[in-house]
Amino acid sequence: MTSFPMTPAGHQRLTAELKHLKSVVRHTVAKKIEVARAHGDLSENSEYDAAKEEQAFNEARIKDLEGKLARVRVITPQDVAHDKVVFGATVTICDLDSEEKQTFTIVGEYEADLSQKKINISSPVGKALIGKSIGDEVTILTPKGPRECEILELKFI
């Protein structure tokens, strides 16, 4: 079975979501189904249909999270090398043409979120940065074409 890297924070977030879905949402949806059943004829009961749909969605998400958590390998960023970009590193780069600076954290696919500046280790940016050091210039292949960037800073939070 293939394992996927994940930070401790990402693992904790998924575990907390799973616990919430099992202990809170599952019981809330069961109550909705119970109330809808009390209204009588289920064949024309939209409340019942909506609650059953919510239940199916919740159970699918639970199954998805359980599958993901069974395949992750938690890697603590502080436990890895600190002289090169590796999984869990927070990297600041500077575009050599526009001089625009950006900071990213390299994470696994299950916790990647561009809005939080967390990029997948397998993404073009992640692949280009892995193994590089402060001061290295890298070419990042983007949809707009190649970008030349320099690695300015490297942190392991």
Q: What gap in Å lies between CA 45 and CA 141, rounded to an integer?
A: 53
pTM of the entire predicted model: 0.76
CATH 3.40.50.150 holds for 4-74: no
First vs last C-alpha separation in the chain: 29
Domain ranges of the chain: 4-74, 77-155
pLDDT at position 126, please?
92
- H or E segment to which residue 93 belongs: strand 90-95
**Do 4-74 and 77-155 fold alike per CATH?**
no
The CATH number, out of the four listed (3.30.870.10, 3.40.50.2000, 3.10.50.30, 3.40.50.2300), of the domain defined by the range 77-155: 3.10.50.30
**Local mean pLDDT, 10-residue blocks, the chain (157 residues):** 84 95 96 85 80 95 94 80 85 92 92 92 91 92 89 88
Closest CA to 99 of 65, 150, 133, 59: 150
Q: Note whether 105 and 87 are within 8 A (CB).
A: no
Helix axes 46-71, 8-20, angle to 10 degrees: 150
pLDDT given at position 1: 61
Based on DSSP, count helices (H) and strands (E) in the chain, helices before strands. 4, 7
DSSP secondary structure of 95-118:
ETTT--EEEEEEE-TTT-BGGGTE
Residue 82: per-residue pLDDT: 74
Is 4 buried (19+), middle (13-18) or exposed (0-12) by CB count in 10 A? middle
Say what the pLDDT of residue 4 is. Answer: 84
